[in-house]
Amino acid sequence: MRIVVGADHAGFPLKELLKPWLESCGHQVDDLGAAALDPEDDYPDFAAAVARAVQAGAAERGIIFCGSGVGASITANKVAGVRAGLCHDTYSAHQGVEHDAMNVVCLGARIIGVDLSKEILTAFLSAGFLPEPRFQRRLDKLLQVEAEG
C-alpha cells in the first residue's frame, strides 16, 4: 500500500523508527516531513501535507505523528475527503476503517510507544471498509455534512 507519513518535532522520533518497519512490511512510504528534528516546527504543517496527499489520491492512507495526536487529527479533518482518527488502541484503528472509512490515523508519540504503534498500524493498514448498508448509510450522511460545510 502507498502511505504518506508526517510528523512534527514531538512525533519525529517515532516516525523515524517506524518508517523502515512500514517498508519492511511491503508498504511504499512517502515521508512529507519533518526531514529533521526541529523543536520550533508546528503540527498543522505536517498534518495538512499528509491530509492533502490523501485527498489528492497520492496515497491510499496517511499516518501523522505528533505529541498527543489531537491537533493532527483536528487539522487533518479540515481537509475535504479526509477521515482522520486518533487511535491509541487496535480496535479503534481497524474499526475506524471498517465502519467509518477512516483514511488517516493520528498517533500520539508522547502517549504510546513503538510496539503498540506497530500493532495499531497493522490493524489500520490491514482493514478495509465494510460495504454493509448501515456503514454506507452513515458514511453517506458524513459526506453530506462535509458537503454542506
Catalytic residues: 66
> Residue 26 gets which letter from DSSP?
T
Instruction: Report d(CA 104, CA 52) in Å as an integer.
Output: 11
Q: Count CB neighbours of 70 within 10 A.
A: 14
| Residue found under cell 498527543 | 68
Helix (H, G, I), strand (E, B) or coil at 65: strand
